[in-house]
Every structure is written in C-alpha cells, then in structure tokens.
Amino acid sequence: MYKYSSKKASSEINIAAEIGCNHKGNLEIAFEMIKVAALFCEVDIIKLQKRTPKELLSEVEYNSPHPVKHNAFGNTYGEHREYLEFTKEQHIRLKDYCEEFDLSYSTSVWDLTSAKEIISIEPDHIKIPSAINTNFNLIQYLCDNYYGTIHLSIGMTTLAEEEAIMKLFVNNNRAKDLVLYSCTSGYPVPAKDACLLEISRLQNKYGSSVKAVGFSGHHKGIALDIAAITLGAKWVERHYTLDRTWKGTDHAASLEPDGLRKLCRNIRSVEKALTYKEKEILDIEKEQRKKLKWESTTNQNRETQLVN
C-alpha cells in the first residue's frame, strides 16, 4: 500500500506520532500503524496511552453512556475505555516492535497504576497529558521513580498551575529531564487558537531550565508545525491515524500517513535551512558570482573601453 523509503537523516527535531487510541483496541492495527509511521512517514517516536479506567473514572462516569454514541466501543463510557486499553504485556510487545524499527516508544500515563506499569518496562519517554498535569501525586511519583525523559503538555492550564508544575520539577532536580509542550486542548483546533507564540513564551521563561520546549498540535494540516520549529520547538507531536473516517474521537484531528510523511519531510527541510551562512560567499554561489555579479573594477574597465 505504501512505498517505504530509506532511513531518515539525523535531526535535532524530534517528531512523535501520537497513535493514542486510534488503534481502536486492535493490537494488529497498532503494529501496522507503527510500521507505516517508521518506514513510510519516518517519525522518531511512537506514542500510545495507558489508562486504568476504574481508577481514573468515578463510578458515575464509568457507568454513564459515552457522550458521542457513534464513537463508543462499549455500552458505558467505562466499557468503552476498557475496550481501547492494552495490557502491560501488550505494551511490552509494542515497545519491542518500535525498537525493531529504531523508534522510541512512549506512552501517556493517566493514573498512578498505569504509571507504575509503564515505568516497569523502562521506556525512554513518558508523557503527562494536559488533562492530568495538576495531578501532583502522580508527577511526584514519576520524579521519584522514573529516570527517563518526562514530557508534559500544558493545554487548558492556568499560569499559576504552570508555575506550580515547574516548581515541582525544579524542587526535585528533574527540570532538565522535562520537555514542556505548548498545547491547545481542542479536537481539532482552528489556527486562531493554536497560539504559536506560546512556544516563544515558554522558551523565554523556561528554556534555560528544561530539557526542551515542544509543540503538541491538534490542528488541521501541516503548516503550523513549520512555524512551531522556527519559534524554537524541538519536539513536535501530532495525532496519527490510518484513516480519518474511522470510528473514534481523535481521528478528525489526526494526520493520515501521507500527511504525516509530508510533515516529517517539511520539518527536516526547514530544519536544514535554519542556519546562518558559514562564509560570505557559499560554494554554490561562486560560479553564479562569476557569471552574474556586477564587479566595480571590471565594469569600470568596460566603460572606459567603450568611451575610447
């Protein structure tokens, strides 16, 4: 179905394909998504999600119907969430499969039980989603027990909450292990609400304290991600699906494989271009200079010859 290309070139920009729950609870679909993201799209990281629904949801929430019936995979919201979950053993298989393609495996953890399970399989990255970034007990547990890179999005977060989050990481001497993502929590997000200058604000305020600043986009298209890296984002995360028409909540705000492939291609190209000239006249310009450049001495001699 897809033409696979050669291994991507080295890059300082890290691109994460957020599978999330777009696998529809099907492990084989998740494997296919990983393979396509690696070989066709050429991403760096695969990100999934891990929840313990009975710990995360109240009894009322668990037993209530899904708010959008046609997206439901169960009779109640709790059953829906259980259907979409992979076990720890399945996450181990997914991690191993990522590593076969030289991809980093990452997972968002939504509760303490999920965090403990994912920590035990020793991933390079763990993500704290915007929805639970004020669960300070969970964050503290990660600071104390997980030694990889912690990624955290700050969608729907006040400045006071943001400062409290940062204070916790600084006090635990873990800020240098933190990637802080600018994010607007909407599905999808219109361009006017993407607020890309938040990347600059985070870079100016925390850039010297954290490992890096990133951008977690839920917008349509791939134009805004280019602006994000020019503003300093070193990590770009986008939701990804094999088919935007599939049943589920996140598909409409996700990129299909060709869109993700173009995103990776464009980011790599722009990253290469974001440099100063290494010397006054580049090698590529020398031949053109000989043919086209107006030289004062040469042209004065020509003018003198014409007069005489």
Reply yes or no on whether the pLDDT at 250 is more than 90: no
- Global confidence as pTM: 0.90
* Domain at 14-278, CATH class: alpha beta
Q: What is the pLDDT of residues 95-133, one digit of tens each?
A: 999 999 999 999 999 999 999 999 999 999 999 999 999
* CB-CB neighbours of 103 under 10 Å: 22
Q: What is the pLDDT of residues 41-95, one digit of tens each?
A: 999 999 999 999 999 999 999 999 998 888 889 999 999 999 999 999 999 999 9
Q: Which of 91, 90, 97, 125 is nearest to 31 (CA)?
A: 97
Tokens of 278: 């290494």
Cβ pair 220, 183 in contact under 8 A: no
Tokens of 190: 């219109």
Q: What is the pLDDT of residue 221?
A: 93
Q: What is the pLDDT of residues 143-188, one digit of tens each?
A: 999 999 999 999 999 999 999 999 999 999 999 999 999 999 988 8
How far, in Å, are 85, 223, 242 from residue 270 at the CA level? 37, 12, 26
Tokens of 308: 């005489």
Domain boundaries, the chain: 14-278
